[in-house]
Amino acid sequence: MAEGSTDTPQGVGHGGGREAGHVPVLLKEAIDFLAIKRGGTYIDATVGLGGHSFEIAKRLGAPGHLIGLDKDPAALEIARERLVVGGSSLVVGEETDWPRITLLHRSFAELANDERQAAYDGILADIGVSSLQLNDAARGFSFQAEGPLDMRMNPQAEQTAEQVVNQVDEVTLANLIYEFGEERRSRRIARAIVRSRPIGTTAQLAEIISAAARPMNQAERRIHPATRTFQALRIFVNHELNDLRALLDAAPQLLKSGGRLVIISFHSLEDRIVKDALREGVKKGYYQLLTKKPVTAGEEEIDRNPRSRSAKLRAAIRV
């Protein structure tokens, strides 16, 4: 999310928002770079609410196969209604021109265990917290509403943000806030958190952080003081960066020659990992870059969905 925002950075990732009619970020650009082949096999590694997947499925047609993954079972249920039930209404002649849809409750990191070599025509990953998660106070992702300190994308995962905040030692807490939130005041914030334990809600944590890290200049006033710490906790709880690395490591073996890899990220930590992995893939002869610089949202999309301001798309083709 852009620096002017007041909520957790990284904005809407997969699926877009209910209030936005499920329009996902950089939809046209993602579809264009995927260059979808009718009858192909594609993975939407972050199916979310099904926004990107629906457009992929329309272009695949009945001979195709779309595999959608997501950590969040609530998102998968919405995607299932849209892709399986809604898609069946697309009819050409007397037959439904809709691909086979497989939706799986799992992290895209598990693609590293997929033994099918050169099996896919394209992989899309829209990395980020979805509006479904961000707008539900009970999920604990946002500091703008009172909710439990959860932050798990997969509600079945073991570790919550509350456990991290209340159980991790001060030095480790400061380090993860610095590493995953790029927060320069991490030590001060960690000290305040430890002294305020136990902490049970998002609002309580946000208040503690705001008191410990008051903005010192105009640039710091543009974002809420808790933004980077909430980002760090979410990334840590959900193993987001390690999962992204696992996906990027697996992609060259999964893609067919000519297959496309399209990744949309929402903050510098993710974008750096994607950029470095694609450049390394070029050196090893795996890829040809399709984007020398990241593709970003235009003014019209940013006006329609301010959370798209920080989105960066990078793409490559398997050699």
Alpha-carbon gap, residue 173 to 169, rounded angstroms: 6
Q: Across the strands, what pairs with 101? A: 66
CA 93 to each of CA 78, 97, 239, 252: distance values in angstroms, whole numbers, following the listed order: 28, 9, 46, 38
Please identify which residue in the block is written with the tokens 């200049």.
Answer: 217
Q: Is 59 exposed, middle or buried (0-12, 13-18, 19+ CB in 10 A)?
A: middle
What residue type is 110 in one-letter code? E
What pLDDT score does 215 carry? 75
Residue of 57, 68, 66 lying closest to 31 (CA atoms): 57
Q: Terminus-to-terminus CA distance in the chain, angstroms?
A: 33
Low-confidence stretches of the chain (pLDDT beneath 70): 1-23, 86-95, 216, 218-220
Q: Is 14 exposed, middle or buried (0-12, 13-18, 19+ CB in 10 A)?
A: buried
Q: Is 97 exposed, middle or buried (0-12, 13-18, 19+ CB in 10 A)?
A: middle
Alpha-carbon gap, residue 107 to 73, rounded angstroms: 11
Tokens for 209? 């952080």
Alpha-carbon gap, residue 280 to 261, rounded angstroms: 14
Segment 241-250, tens digit of pLDDT: 999 999 999 9
Query: pTM (2 decimals)?
Result: 0.91
Alpha-carbon gap, residue 119 to 159, rounded angstroms: 34
Query: Are the C-beta atoms of 262 and 125 separated by less than 8 Å?
Result: yes
What pLDDT score does 16 carry? 41
- In eight-state DSSP terms, residue 88 is G
Segment 118-161, tens digit of pLDDT: 999 999 999 988 888 888 999 999 998 899 999 999 999 999 99
